[in-house]
Amino acid sequence: MELHVHTLPKRLTLILERGERNSTFLCFRRNYYGGNWASFSFSGLLSWLKEYQENGDIVNESPAWQEQILENEEAIALSRKDKTIQHVEVFCYASRDLHEDVEEAGALQKNHASVTSANSTEAADSACLPTENESLSTVSCEMPIEQTPSSDPESALEVNDVEETGEKENHCDDKTCVPSISEEKSSENVPTAEDITEQPKKNRITYSQIIKEGRRFNIDLVSKLLYSRGLLIDLLIKSNVSRYAEFKNITRILAFREGRVEQVPCSRADVFNSKQLTMVEKRMLMKFLTFCMEYEEHPDEYKAYEEITFSEYLKTQKLTPNLQYFVLHSIAMISERASSTIDGLKATKNFLCCLGRYGNTPFLFPLYGQGELPQCFCRMCAVFGGIYCLRHSVQCLVVDKESGKCKAIIDQFGQRIMSKHFLVEDSYFSENTCSHVQYRQISRAVLITDRSVLQTDSDQQISILTVPAEEPGTSAVRIIELCSSTMTCMKGTYLVHLTCTSSETARGDLEPVVQKLFTPYAETEIENEEIEKPRLLWALYFNMRDSSDVSRNSYNDLPSNVYVCSGPDCGLGNDNAVKQAETVFQQICPNEDFCPPPPNPEDIILDGDSLQPGASESSAVSEANSETLEGSTNLQNSEEASE
């Protein structure tokens, strides 16, 4: 069963006492799944921004939890605030029709905790949105994350049984709503295949339109792609979690060179069809890529260059500057100054090995955004007995002095929840626990634009572009551009994600790249005037903490049965998260298979009964998979076809 936070706390106690003691129990202090891996509709993102601006406590907490600590126990207090997000700045460039009263489909509702209006101007103000070309106040908006507390504990918990169905649930509450696959597919606001192909003319897009169509946006906090032969794809297939999601191929890989954007040939067909390369360059490139696929079998050809960077190594391979640029920045996608020859060869081989499994590029993107993936795993966990609690904070860990192990947690209502193992996300630890931890930062930007950075006959391109670093000490900027067929933005717009390792604030790191590729949407432009760059309608900048490389030994005095997991890292793929999850799982369950395939629904027998409760789910899944969106990829079906 799945636990949402809306009913009386005592119902949680009843569940835990009703033979569910061996179940997995998960508390989220936020009101949505996934933490910093989540994605939001436009109204949900405005709500998320408003929580930062308010900077209030996450939840109402019991003030007397210290009194529950016994003489033979001690407490490790947890942080009441999530400080993983900083330096939030928003810019609205689209014209704002202040006379048009527009309500967004699925806009947030008013409640006792906070009042959020769906009116376009009020929503902008509540989210600390500035007037055109004006930034957020650094005083009011560059604050660490906070959740708005619920003022009524009696309405804090709600228990819902998870139905065994193949359709995806919609995880909502009175504050915000993370849209799910099945809801979006059935919603009249989702663009159909006809909508996608019949794009509107170059009409001026206003902020009111973005608000009105806000449910068509699914905006990720973290921007990643899935390597087609990466660990996450293999895990999704093995565990059968992939049945809850659909994917799109990344259609092209781009490069930014000499002030212009151009497409990079990476597959054999692309190389020979490319008009950018001469015949000599095509032969050079194919010869080098063939070597990279087999480089481990020819150590004599690279051993002498192991001590130099991959960039320097490419210069020794008789590749033209044009080819060196493409291989370094758009195929290997590694640092020009910091990556060794071995790093470059491994990255290039990985890229090439992933080609052709599901399409002409190595990458996949989940429909409705990266935030779908945590929800898919949550659903599978809930179907097999996991219990989830949203907007439910934990105040402290209770440690037994004699054994030195954690024995319980005390939640926001002052009740104890006992367990043998405790998995804690890094952001929950207090400053005292993390006093010796050194964090890196990720700079992120999310843009809404009116067209692609590289126009082609098709306006449904999904692209990845790398802009190299220009100055020492800075990082290359990775750009992922999503079209409306990914179900992440309204038709006629593109959703653009920029990511790099931070050297300063997100705006300081990323705004120069934004200025190179886009032009602000100025109201004074003539409607039919042709402009060289896409027009920028809306922009969000923020910094996110990267704790992926923090050693467990860096935390102060953690009991041995408390395990730490990090938030998102800066990498393009998800291998780090999968490795971390498997490592923790093996520590807790050393003799168990990590994410094994679930049993066939027809084989499940409950309490000696011969009923088959999963049959309807299997039927629903098959029916759902038969009605996939045009151009989307079902991992298992595609894998079977390729074999």
Phi, psi angles (nearest 5°) of residue 631: 85, -5
Cβ atoms 172, 40 nearer than 8 A: no
425 exposure class (CB count in 10 Å sphere: 0-12, 13-18, 19+)? middle
User: What was the pLDDT predicted at 384?
Assistant: 80
Which of 299, 319, 354 is a domain's end point?
354
Mean pLDDT throughout 43-52? Answer: 89
**Stronger pLDDT, 98 or 220, i.e. the higher one:** 220
User: What was the pLDDT predicted at 479?
Assistant: 97
User: What was the pLDDT predicted at 529?
Assistant: 52
Per-residue pLDDT band at 364 (split at 50, 70, 90)? very high
- Give me the domain span that covers residue 562: 12-55+62-81+368-438+550-588
Is 18 inside any structural domain?
A: yes
CATH number, domain of 319, equals: 1.10.405.10
- Considering the entire predicted model, what is its pTM? 0.79
Mean pLDDT throughout 532-539? Answer: 92
Indicate if 580 and 555 belong to the same structural domain. Answer: yes
Measured CA to CA, the distance from residue 548 to residue 381 in angstroms comes to: 24
Amino acid at 295: Y
Indicate if 332 and 389 belong to the same structural domain. Answer: no
**Stronger pLDDT, 124 or 273, i.e. the higher one:** 273
Task: Record the tokens describing residue 201, joined without a space.
Answer: 């003319």
User: What was the pLDDT predicted at 66?
Assistant: 81
- Please give the C-alpha separations between residue 226 and each of 27, 41, 220, 633, in angstroms, as whole numbers: 27, 22, 14, 13
Which of 304, 325, 354 is a domain's end point?
354
Amino acid at 353: C
If one counts the domains in the chain, the total is 2
Indicate if 309 and 387 belong to the same structural domain. Answer: no
Is 222 inside any structural domain?
A: no
pLDDT higher than threshold 80 for residue 362? yes
User: What was the pLDDT predicted at 266?
Assistant: 79
Is 573 inside any structural domain?
A: yes
Indicate if 373 and 350 belong to the same structural domain. Answer: no
User: What was the pLDDT predicted at 456?
Assistant: 87
Measured CA to CA, the distance from residue 286 to residue 331 in angstroms comes to: 13
Measured CA to CA, the distance from residue 500 to residue 443 in angstroms comes to: 5
Measured CA to CA, the distance from residue 331 to residue 354 in angstroms comes to: 11
User: What was the pLDDT predicted at 337?
Assistant: 84
Amino acid at 416: R
Instruction: Please write down the HEC assignment for all residues of 621-632.
Output: HHHHHCCCCCCC
Helical ranges in 163-213 per DSSP H: 181-186, 193-197, 207-212
Indicate if 281 and 425 belong to the same structural domain. Answer: no
Among 44, 376, 41, 39, CA closest to 190: 41
Q: What is the pLDDT of residues 388-427, one digit of tens each?
A: 888 888 999 999 999 999 999 998 888 899 999 999 999 9
**Stronger pLDDT, 604 or 512, i.e. the higher one:** 512
Instruction: Please write down the HEC assignment for all residues of 101-147.
Output: CCECCCCCCCCCCCCCCCEHHHHHHHCCCCCCCCCCCHHHHCCCECC
Indicate if 271 and 350 belong to the same structural domain. Answer: yes
Instruction: Please write down the HEC assignment for all residues of 386-405.
Output: CEEECCCCEEEEEEECCCCC
Is 116 inside any structural domain?
A: no
Indicate if 349 and 372 belong to the same structural domain. Answer: no
Query: Residue 513: helix, strand or coil by DSSP?
Result: helix
Indicate if 350 and 375 belong to the same structural domain. Answer: no
Is 519 inside any structural domain?
A: no
Query: Residue 179: helix, strand or coil by DSSP?
Result: coil
Is 272 inside any structural domain?
A: yes
CATH number, domain of 377, equals: 3.50.50.60
Indicate if 284 and 426 belong to the same structural domain. Answer: no
pLDDT higher than threshold 60 for residue 102? no
- Residue 124: partners with Cβ closer than 8 Å, 6 or more residues away: 46, 92, 96, 207
Indicate if 292 and 415 belong to the same structural domain. Answer: no
Helix (H) or strand (E) holding 90: strand 85-92
Residues facing 365 on adjacent strands: 248
Is 584 inside any structural domain?
A: yes
- Please give the C-alpha separations between residue 392 and each of 58, 116, 414, in angstroms, as whole numbers: 9, 22, 12
Query: Residue 222: helix, strand or coil by DSSP?
Result: coil
Per-residue pLDDT band at 164 (split at 50, 70, 90)? very low
533 exposure class (CB count in 10 Å sphere: 0-12, 13-18, 19+)? middle
User: What was the pLDDT predicted at 497?
Assistant: 98
**Stronger pLDDT, 285 or 51, i.e. the higher one:** 285
Mean pLDDT throughout 623-630? Answer: 46
Q: What is the pLDDT of residues 168-197, one digit of tens each?
A: 334 333 333 333 333 333 343 444 444 444
Measured CA to CA, the distance from residue 188 to residue 192 in angstroms comes to: 9
Task: Record the tokens describing residue 163, joined without a space.
Answer: 């139905």
Is 465 inside any structural domain?
A: no
Measured CA to CA, the distance from residue 272 to residue 278 in angstroms comes to: 10
Cβ atoms 49, 114 nearer than 8 A: no
Indicate if 425 and 294 belong to the same structural domain. Answer: no
Indicate if 276 and 337 belong to the same structural domain. Answer: yes
Amino acid at 113: A
**Stronger pLDDT, 511 or 386, i.e. the higher one:** 511
